[in-house]
Amino acid sequence: MDPQELGDWELMQRVATSDEAAIDALYARFSVLVFQSARQVLGSRAETEDAVQEVFVRLWRTADRFDPNRAKLVTWVMLITRRHLIDRLRRQSAGPEQRAMRGGTGFGDSLRVCPNCSAPSSSAPICKGSVCATSLSSWMPRSAL
């Protein structure tokens, strides 16, 4: 493993333990790239900002799965970004009829509540241990986007 791969692996191991400095470093390194990718696909800036936050929550939740022997960190980040954007577009394209067939109303039917802080969330439980995604928003200022 070369020094860059080792550094990336160590960074993601620290992200997996909710190390705020590591999360800040990951965000500083990839937020512009993730934002630009999301902006190309999504309709509005607000949607793009939401998607960026959701991607970084996914990165945090899956950080322990990063393997520098399989892919570079930038490739892994963009793969997660791509998958998230595809999922988001599929949800958007599902019309009210399809949501009704699945038993949803189409209005907040995917809303869940965070088990640690009781905050509403559109993604499955977003808390990891004692750190909540609500607190993660503090390290992702909207002005930085």
Check whether residue 119 and residue 74 sit in a common domain: no
Is 76 within a domain? yes
Give residue 100's Cα distance to chain centre: 27
Check whether residue 88 and residue 111 sit in a common domain: no
Residue found by looking up tokens 């630009």 in the block: 36
Tokens representing residue 134 in the block: 């609500």
Looking at residue 72, its pLDDT comes to: 96
| Structural domain boundaries, residue 88 | 3-93
- pLDDT higher than threshold 60 for residue 2: yes
Check whether residue 42 and residue 108 sit in a common domain: no
Check whether residue 89 and residue 117 sit in a common domain: no
Nearest partner of 38 among 93, 75, 87, judged by Cα: 87
Check whether residue 10 and residue 39 sit in a common domain: yes
Looking at residue 119, its pLDDT comes to: 44
Check whether residue 18 and residue 78 sit in a common domain: yes
The total domain count for the chain is 2
Q: What is the spatial distance between Cα 75 and Cα 99, in angstroms, rounded to a whole number?
A: 33
Is 145 within a domain? no
Give the contacts of 104 (CB within 8 A, at least 6 positions apart).
110
Distances from the Cα of 123 to the Cα of 14, 28, 144, angstroms? 23, 23, 23
CATH number at residue 20: 1.10.1740.10
Q: What are the tens digits of pLDDT across the range 3-49?
A: 889 999 999 999 999 999 999 999 999 999 999 999 999 989 999 99
Helix axes 3-16, 45-61, angle to 10 degrees: 100
Q: For the whole model, what pTM was predicted?
A: 0.65
Looking at residue 22, its pLDDT comes to: 97
Q: What are the tens digits of pLDDT across the range 44-73?
A: 999 999 999 999 999 999 999 999 999 999
Check whether residue 61 and residue 109 sit in a common domain: no
